């Protein structure tokens, strides 16, 4: 069964191909994904690598956690399931970003 690993501390220039190649030293890599910002498309500096087995995943953690890759020290550990986050309201506490009203009371003029 494949095992998903969290990989943090990636250089912003790291490609999914170079990440896959690096982790293949520990065993079969099923997938390598770098998380990017939706607006800019720039890497967020972390990603996920899915190894072919739990043994290969454990070997990758031992081999790469705290080690230098492309000038940065990696953090490698088992990926945790994504937690449910509260629904975003848009700011100011309201569902539409808050109703801030007008520019003062009109009856004072």
Domain locations in the chain as residue ranges: 3-78
Q: What local confidence, expressed as pLDDT, does residue 107 receive?
A: 62
Q: What local confidence, expressed as pLDDT, does residue 80 receive?
A: 87
Q: What local confidence, expressed as pLDDT, does residue 13 receive?
A: 94
Burial class (CB in 10 A: 0-12, 13-18, 19+), 37: exposed
| Residue 28 Cα distances to 3, 11, 46, 59, 90, angstroms | 11, 23, 20, 11, 42
Q: What local confidence, expressed as pLDDT, does residue 61 receive?
A: 96
CATH topology assigned to domain 3-78? Alpha-Beta Plaits (3.30.70)
Q: What local confidence, expressed as pLDDT, does residue 99 receive?
A: 53
Q: What local confidence, expressed as pLDDT, does residue 6 receive?
A: 97
Of 54, 56, 49, the closest CA to residue 10 belongs to 49
Query: What are the mean pLDDT values of the chain's consecutive 10-residue runs (109 residues total)?
Result: 90 96 97 95 95 96 96 94 73 55 59
């Amino acid at each position: 069964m494949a095992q998903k690993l969290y990989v943090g501390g990636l250089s912003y220039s790291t490609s999914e191909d170079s990440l896959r190649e690096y982790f293949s030293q520990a065993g079969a890599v099923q997938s390598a994904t770098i998380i990017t910002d939706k607006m800019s498309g720039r890497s967020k500096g972390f990603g996920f690598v899915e190894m072919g087995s739990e043994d290969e995943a454990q070997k990758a953690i031992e081999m790469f956690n705290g080690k230098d890759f492309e000038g940065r020290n990696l953090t490698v550990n088992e990926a945790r399931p994504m937690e449910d986050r509260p629904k975003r309201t848009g700011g100011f506490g309201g569902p539409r970003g808050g109703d801030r009203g007008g520019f003062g009371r009109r009856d004072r003029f």
